Structure 1
Amino acid sequence: MPTSGSFHVKITVADALLKELERIGVDTVFGIISIHNIPFYDAIKRHGGFRVVAGRHEGAVVNMADAYSRVSGKLGVALTSTGTGAGNAAGAIIESWNGGAPMLHVTGQVASAYIETGRGYIHDGKDQFGMLKSISKEAHRVRRPQQAPAIFRLAVTQAMTPPAGPVSVEIPIDFQASVISLPSIVTAANPPRVPSDAELLPAVERMVEAKRPVIWAGSGAMFSDSSPEVTELMQFLNAAVITTQSARGIVPETVSTCIGHFATFPALQDFVAKADLLISVGVRFRGNETSNWSLTTPAEHIGIDADPQAINRNFPHSIAIIGDAKAILRAVLRLLDAKQPKPKFDYGLEVALLQRELRGEVRDGMGPWEGILDAIQEHLPEDAVLVRDVTVPATTWGSRLIIRRYPRTTLHASAGGIGQGLPMAIGAQIAAPSKTVVALCGDGGLLVNIGELAVARQENAPVVVILFDDSAYGVLRNIQNAHFEGRTIGVELQSPDFVAVARAFGFESERVRSTEEFRRTFATAVKSRHPWMIVTDSGAIGPMKKIFAGPEGGAALYKPH
């Protein structure tokens, strides 16, 4: 009788999932319990060793798991129910796919004999699997209990393999407590191949020859933990560094040649057009970060990306290097070290001047909000995690002027959906319990997931919510005022007493009406290490000098054409 392996170990399908998560070091699960996933919860209770964060909405649960992954670098895990529960998670799964962090979404399904029969089994949906497959990186259905361990291994591998993303697995309720024999699964390692020196040499030679090099770093660079390599490449080449929103902090924004997230600004677009080399590292070149792809990139464009489909998708490449950014950059840096590129002092001064001009342009449009920014800069710890929901202050100056010095310290809704800031902040706080986590939210967005305040209090997550209350969907109201002759509809909101609401959930909260009140209150909130909500009266602070009226190019779409 063979004694090796684990084939003779009898466990449930739910236990098999926990074994797989344990194997890769996952110890936190975000979820909402249901009659169609309760065997998983019982397994967690019996097994021990897992922290379960109980959300109040399935979409928020996925947001938490997503943010947890972005900040910690670990696999985020979300556990939802069938039908409506899985449907509620859909918008957040779309956000996770856009964000590109590894996330496993496990959901129940009706009993196997009733799937897609239309007989009306409780929590049934017309085509839940089709929905999950269309919005996830990949999706799987467990069709036999015995296949579950291998499917869990496949799903985890797919979620974590660059380009990473959310992978969904649905398990019928009658399979979850099924007792199976646990096989010993050995996965053959497939380490990423690093191109040879001969293959990399043409790219290195172009880097050495370049007189006006620009590095554009995206989330792919951040998720591969390439901050040291990108920084060293910048120093070797005296290059300017542009970052996407997601990659802010991959190079400290205190460095004079780190321009940051300004690619939609005409001055930076002119600068890029005059570059003689663009090096993009893990960049998707999203429409809202490139003025809908209207900017001009140099003929010499070296693209480093784990995703072959990224090459020539939005801008042409002259050299494409497919693989892990960190490993490739290490090899490139070794070759550059042997060649010792000449310093470009005048170019560095030009980049530093452009950085100051771009930041000054944003400041000049802030009006009285400049004092709010300065207060945040003064009291926000350098390593704090900044979460930005979709709201006017976050979009205009919060995404550019609140200085980021470290990677994985900035989160935003990559897909642009409002209301995800609060649950993302909670997930980030659980991922980094010793850090300060600050969320910039608007009143309209906060109300989408306001029930998650209870989660922050229950989990003792000391998030600081800065709520900008203008009793409106502010961005949309500005768009209507600018492009529809001042006709507004559907944008005016009745705000509750947010201070009373926050306190009812166990937060400390104050309403502030001036920059000085904000400064004092924000300093108190950061020091307290308790959940806090600072309700900032946008009307009392006053309008920005330059009104933000939505993303570029919108006007042409809004008018009859």
Structure 2
Amino acid sequence: MTIEAQSMDTTTHMTGEPVEAATNVVGALADAGVDIAFTVPGESFLAVLNALYDEPRIRTVATRHESGASFMADAYTKLTQTPAICMATRAVGAANLSIGIHNAQQDSVPMIAILGQVSNGARHRESFQETDLDQFLRPFTKWAFEPTAPSELGALTHRAVRTAISGRPGPVAISLREDVIREPVRRESYSTIHRPEPEASSDEIAVVEALLRDAHRPLLLVGGEIMTTAATPAAVHLAESASAGVVTLWRRPDAFPNDHPHYLGHAGLGAAPIVREAMTGSDLWIVVGGRLDENTLDGYTLPTAETSVVHVGVDADGLDPRGEGFGVVSTSAAFLRLLAEPFSTDPLEPASAGERRAWITDTHETWQAQTTPEGRAVSPGYADQFEIARTMREHLPPDTIVVTDAGNFSAWSARFLRWNAPFTFVGPGSGAMGYAIPGAVGAQLARPDRPVLAVAGDGGFLMTAMDLQTAAREQLPIVVVVFNNGQYGTIRMHQERKYPGRPIATTLGEVDFVALARGLGCGAELVLEAEEFSAALDRAFTSDAPYVLEVRTDPEQISISSIVELD
């Protein structure tokens, strides 16, 4: 169930029935629309688990590691737009959970983290697994808090969900003291939470319209927050009516249909060279539905001084951190719709529109050429990653959700695959390794009717491979492609560039990925040649169980640019 986007209100109803305070925590989450929780169970929050046992509106999924729980919640929330829960115990569990919480902050994901805490009598004594969880998690959450009164737990939990989805979305963390959640209280119920929808004013739209009419090479830079039923078509309509090119932000390639003639590629790591050229040559950026992160801005070398910037977001705090340009607080859908209206009734001058479209057409054609994979020579016994990318592009069902891990291997997918529908890509904007497998579990639970493909390097794969067993236990037919080059390839690439011929701590040992996957309840097979991959991919997608394809890749093919540049 997606949390509705309207006004924001909270109503508490008392029934008088005595319950443990944890029951109100769980009830407040369910009343707010939360429907799933991922956890490694811990004794510090047994009362919450007990309350979940009696709550049919929330599905509880046991994971093999807390990082997996947080990545699953992240992916599920991204695809459903409804906050998911990740739960862990005290300091040790919270530390493992924190990698996914940090990613949720970087990606503006409104998930809910629940942490068990030591009891009142044990606080501030360096008790078993104790730390100040709210202080620990505060730097990368919207709100981290530790209630002390049992009677407040339900209301504060409900408020936590409201905080997570309001303004720029983000994670919240609730630290629950073990004895407090067992205290008797009266059962409470809460109203549905409605997400607020700020809208640009007519004066703001007039300012942006004037900038857009005067520009010679305008670009829309669109992010994941535009992916709604209303916003995605509105982005297409604005691009067409204002003759603007479109670039998607880092880790948001599905925010605009890639087959559209106005699409000029995605920014960030793995981007085609023409994308930076287009961003550099543009005299106006209109950034909608995302933040201007380091990878989108190519190490903060963009935009140039000649580029004017309009930044649109639902929270003023999330707008262009340089303090430059023109900021507009608005939902993406409202802004795009309002800005397109004057161009529909008063079109651009034909000459201006023609010049823009000529630039867009030339750039789009160059992008098409630079993102069409061509096979490369590799050492015998290895599969060429360019050919693997070509096969995936040709054979993946169009509604496949691709979940990527972090690492150099992902550049091939990022550059060569196509995303033509919203909510068909999930990846860690924070660059957290280990995301792909648990992310795919979360994605399949969010969209059980869609095929889900996870892509990972051998380094990231082994960080969370144990949650393949979670996929098998939950009967989720995810497909995982692991690119095995026996090394931490991204780091070796940087070592070869900065300290040529002196790689250290990047070579990994031999692993039988096929045997490992089968031991965790999955189907699996080894791919040594690119020609074998197509049939293997077909077998994987027809399996009822999770399926792992180990693709052996050349240790020297670690950069999408070329092998030669590392020689």
After TM superposition, is the score higher than 0.5? yes
Equivalent positions of 1:369-384 (< 5 A) are 369-384=385-400
Equivalent positions of 1:522-533 (< 5 A) are 522-533=537-548
Matched-pair contact (CA < 8 Å) for 1:244–1:283 = yes
Partner amino acid for 1:55?
A: T
Aligned-pair distance for 1:190?
8.1
State how far apart, in whole Å, the 1-side matches of 2:302 and 2:312 are. Answer: 20
State how far apart, in whole Å, the 1-side matches of 2:213 and 2:135 are. Answer: 49
C-alpha distance after superposition, 1:395-429 (max 9, x if no partner): x2211221001112111111112111111111111
Alignment-derived partner of residue 79 in structure 1: 87
Query: Aligned to 2:360, which of 334, 351, 373?
Result: 351
1:86–1:224 Cα change, 3 Å: farther
Query: Aligned to 2:284, which of 277, 289, 296?
Result: 277
State how far apart, in whole Å, the 2-side matches of 1:248 and 1:365 are. Answer: 21
Alignment-derived partner of residue 558 in structure 1: none
State how far apart, in whole Å, the 2-side matches of 1:236 and 1:478 are. Answer: 43
Asked whether 1:502 is paired with 2:513, we answer: no
State how far apart, in whole Å, the 2-side matches of 1:189 and 1:27 are. Answer: 16
State how far apart, in whole Å, the 1-side matches of 2:37 and 2:206 are. Answer: 45
Query: Aligned to 1:288, which of 285, 295, 314?
Result: 295
Alignment-derived partner of residue 535 in structure 1: 550
Asked whether 1:132 is paired with 2:137, we answer: yes
Aligned-pair distance for 1:531?
0.8
Asked whether 1:327 is paired with 2:342, we answer: no
Asked whether 1:101 is paired with 2:101, we answer: no
Matched-pair contact (CA < 8 Å) for 2:151–2:185 = yes
Alignment-derived partner of residue 361 in structure 1: 370
Matched-pair contact (CA < 8 Å) for 1:514–1:541 = no
C-alpha distance after superposition, 1:235-268 (max 9, x if no partner): 1112110001332122210112111214566543
Aligned-pair distance for 1:475?
1.3
Equivalent positions of 1:451-470 (< 5 A) are 451-470=466-485
- Comparing 350-359 and 419-428, the one that deviates more: 350-359
- Comparing 76-85 and 8-17, the one that deviates more: 8-17
Alignment-derived partner of residue 348 in structure 2: 341
Asked whether 1:55 is paired with 2:63, we answer: yes
Asked whether 1:114 is paired with 2:122, we answer: yes
1:196–1:223 Cα change, 3 Å: same
Equivalent positions of 1:284-323 (< 5 A) are 284-297=291-304, 298-314=306-322, 316-317=324-325, 319-323=326-330
- Comparing 241-250 and 305-314, the one that deviates more: 305-314
State how far apart, in whole Å, the 2-side matches of 1:237 and 1:231 are. Answer: 10
Query: Aligned to 1:17, which of 11, 22, 25?
Result: 25
Asked whether 1:492 is paired with 2:499, we answer: no
Query: Aligned to 2:161, which of 156, 159, 177?
Result: 156
State how far apart, in whole Å, the 2-side matches of 1:5 and 1:67 are. Answer: 32
Alignment-derived partner of residue 170 in structure 1: 175
Aligned-pair distance for 1:533?
0.4
Partner amino acid for 2:130?
A: D
1:366–1:278 Cα change, 3 Å: farther
Matched-pair contact (CA < 8 Å) for 1:366–1:546 = no
State how far apart, in whole Å, the 1-side matches of 2:449 and 2:25 are. Answer: 29
Runs of 4+ deviating beyond 6 Å: 186-190, 540-545
State how far apart, in whole Å, the 1-side matches of 2:443 and 2:391 are. Answer: 22
Alignment-derived partner of residue 91 in structure 1: 99
State how far apart, in whole Å, the 2-side matches of 1:102 and 1:373 are. Answer: 32
C-alpha distance after superposition, 1:43-76 (max 9, x if no partner): 1112334211100111110110010000111111
State how far apart, in whole Å, the 1-side matches of 2:455 and 2:249 are. Answer: 18
Aligned-pair distance for 1:481?
2.2
SS of equivalent to 2:90: coil
Equivalent positions of 1:349-428 (< 5 A) are 349-361=358-370, 363=372, 367=376, 368-394=384-410, 396-428=411-443
Alignment-derived partner of residue 513 in structure 1: 528
Aligned-pair distance for 1:542?
6.4
Equivalent positions of 1:154-303 (< 5 A) are 154-183=159-188, 191-222=196-227, 226-262=231-267, 267-297=274-304, 298-303=306-311
Identity of aligned residues (%): 24
Partner amino acid for 1:124?
A: E
1:231–1:388 Cα change, 3 Å: same
Asked whether 1:31 is paired with 2:36, we answer: no
Matched-pair contact (CA < 8 Å) for 1:245–1:399 = no
1:195–1:46 Cα change, 3 Å: closer
TM-score, normalised with respect to structure 1? 0.90
State how far apart, in whole Å, the 2-side matches of 1:375 and 1:74 are. Answer: 34
State how far apart, in whole Å, the 1-side matches of 2:292 and 2:198 are. Answer: 25
SS of equivalent to 1:287: coil
State how far apart, in whole Å, the 2-side matches of 1:48 and 1:312 are. Answer: 43
Matched-pair contact (CA < 8 Å) for 2:310–2:328 = yes
State how far apart, in whole Å, the 2-side matches of 1:498 and 1:269 are. Answer: 37
Matched-pair contact (CA < 8 Å) for 1:251–1:406 = yes
SS of equivalent to 2:252: coil
Count how many residue pairs are aligned between Structure 1 and Structure 2: 542
C-alpha distance after superposition, 1:270-317 (max 9, x if no partner): 333332322110232221222211123444322211221333414731
Unpaired runs of 5+ residues, structure 2, are: 1-11, 377-383
Matched-pair contact (CA < 8 Å) for 1:478–1:548 = no
Matched-pair contact (CA < 8 Å) for 1:210–1:276 = yes
Matched-pair contact (CA < 8 Å) for 2:71–2:439 = yes
Asked whether 1:123 is paired with 2:129, we answer: yes
Alignment-derived partner of residue 556 in structure 1: none
Matched-pair contact (CA < 8 Å) for 2:250–2:295 = no
Matched-pair contact (CA < 8 Å) for 2:70–2:99 = no
Matched-pair contact (CA < 8 Å) for 2:69–2:438 = yes
Partner amino acid for 1:278?
A: W
SS of equivalent to 2:416: coil
Matched-pair contact (CA < 8 Å) for 1:230–1:250 = no
Aligned-pair distance for 1:442?
0.7
State how far apart, in whole Å, the 1-side matches of 2:303 and 2:482 are. Answer: 37
Aligned-pair distance for 1:377?
1.3
Asked whether 1:40 is paired with 2:48, we answer: yes
Unpaired runs of 5+ residues, structure 1, are: 551-561
C-alpha distance after superposition, 1:422-455 (max 9, x if no partner): 1111111110111111111011111111111110
1:307–1:469 Cα change, 3 Å: same
Matched-pair contact (CA < 8 Å) for 1:140–1:151 = no
C-alpha distance after superposition, 1:98-133 (max 9, x if no partner): 111110001110001221222x3x3223x2221011
Aligned-pair distance for 1:393?
2.4
Aligned-pair distance for 1:471?
0.9
1:449–1:501 Cα change, 3 Å: same
TM-score, normalised with respect to structure 2? 0.89
Q: CA RMSD in A?
A: 2.5
1:268–1:391 Cα change, 3 Å: closer
Aligned-pair distance for 1:150?
1.4
State how far apart, in whole Å, the 2-side matches of 1:217 and 1:468 are. Answer: 30
State how far apart, in whole Å, the 2-side matches of 1:187 and 1:51 are. Answer: 19
